Amino acid sequence: MRRTAKKRPMSSNLITPSRHQARLLIAAAAVLWSTSGFFVKAPLFVGWPGPLLACWRAFFASLVLLPLVRRARWTWRLIPMILSFVAMNWFYLSAMVNTEAGNAIWLQYTAPVWVFLVSVLVWREPVHRLDWLLLFSAAAGVGLIVVCESRGDSLLGVIYGLLSGLCFAGIVLSLRWLRDEESAFLVALNHLVTALVLSPYIMANPQYWPSGWQWAFVAGLGMLQMGLPYLLFARGLQSVPSHEASGIALLEPVLVPVWVFLAWRHADNYTPPHWWTIVGGALILAGLIARYSARNTVVEE
């Protein structure tokens, strides 16, 4: 008797992207994510608490995402994703306001280490030999930043950054786990719950309600920097293993200090990257280039 292969549930998304398209979607998401420093480090928000910015960001992201939802379906597997997302927003923006922007984002990118270990050891996802090179270069770069920063006055920012990395790993793994669900629904749900959970913080701090140009910046922070890229990232995860996606997303920390420098280098609150941030970032970027060079990609495919 011939055995019938178990069919994978049909995705609620209309078209599943190819591997090449998925990589481009994830890269585009990383570029948009990298604008966080441009918005958060704007002189308009000097003194603003991180959780407050996280709430406004999630609120405006929800506005752009909710109209895109076509099929909402509840499953208990959504709970780890939601909890990780709410916590990541709190920790990351708290890190952003307590340390230099480049350090905050590099520390968040301890996530690929956790994602890689779970993907390979638990989910048994296929691994390219150069994934190991990317893992070690990322661990070396982030490790340098952690050691050097922990000796300074921004230890609290380092702790927040490391916690945000752990939570970001939880999000990546959850989105991959839920890849058969509608991307718009997953991303919109994350942002809506985050906005609701953090809304008491806004009510308790009415002095931080936006005014003037602040409205435009928090809207951009939510819609362009957070909402749209997470939608692209979730779509890309339908065709790319989670550990590979987190590796491509390392483009984000490479670009964060670039946008901050270009936009706010003349501002009084601007802090240039330290040497260890530059060296650590270069290590990660070198691993990323080696992993996704044209020749290696052809061999892999």
What is the per-residue pLDDT across 246-280, written as a single tens digit (0 to 9) for each? Answer: 778 878 877 888 888 888 888 776 777 778 878 88
Structural domain includes residue 10 = no
pLDDT score at 193: 92
Please state the pTM of the whole predicted model: 0.70
Q: For residue 10, what pLDDT band results from cuts at 50, 70 and 90?
A: very low
Determine, yes or no, domain membership for 4.
no
Say which DSSP state 3 is in: P
Phi-psi region of 267 (alpha: psi -120 to 50; beta: other; left: phi over 0): beta
Specify if 14 maps to a domain. Answer: no
Whether pLDDT at 222 is above 50? yes
> Which amino acid, one-letter code, is at 257?
P
- What is the rounded CA–CA span in Å between residue 50 and residue 55? 9
CA neighbours within 13 Å on the CB side: how many for 70?
7
Which tops the pLDDT comparison, 267 or 221? 221
pLDDT value of position 8: 44
Residue from 205, 193, 110, 192 nearest 158 by CA: 110
> Band of the pLDDT at 216, cuts 50, 70, 90?
very high
**Token pair in block for residue 260:** 């901050």
Q: How confident is the model at residue 151 (pLDDT cuts 50, 70, 90)?
A: low
Question: 97: Cβ–Cβ under 8 A, 6 or more apart, which residues?
Answer: 40, 48, 49, 50, 53
**What is the rounded distance in angstroms from the CA atom of residue 248 to the CA atom of residue 253?**
11
For residue 152, name the pLDDT band (cuts at 50, 70, 90): low
Residues 6+ apart with CB under 8 A from 10: 180
Question: In 34-108, which ranges are continuous DSSP H helix?
Answer: 36-40, 50-65, 78-98, 101-108
* Residue 9 in domain: no
Report the pLDDT value the prediction gives residue 270, as an integer from 0 to 100.
76
In a domain, 263, yes or no: yes
Per-residue confidence at 11, pLDDT binned at 50, 70, 90? Answer: very low
Q: Which domain holds residue 226?
A: 19-300
> Which of 189, 192, 170 shows the shortest CA–CA distance to 181?
189
pLDDT per position as a tens digit, 69-109: 888 888 888 999 999 988 888 887 778 777 766 667 777 77
pLDDT greater than 60 at residue 1: no
What whole-number distance in Å separates Cα of residue 112 and Cα of residue 244? Answer: 9
Kindly state whether residue 174 falls inside one of the protein's structural domains. yes
Confidence tier at 215 by pLDDT (50, 70, 90): very high
Domain count, the chain: 1
pLDDT at 25: 92
The answer to whether position 215 is within a domain reads yes
User: What's the longest Cα–Cα distance across the chain?
Assistant: 76
Which amino acid type is present at position 205? N
Q: What angle do CA 275, 278, 284 make, to 5 degrees?
A: 140
The residue-averaged pLDDT of 110-132 equals: 76
Domain annotation covers residue 163: yes
Q: Specify the length of the chain in residues.
A: 301
Return the residue matching tokens 């003037």.
212
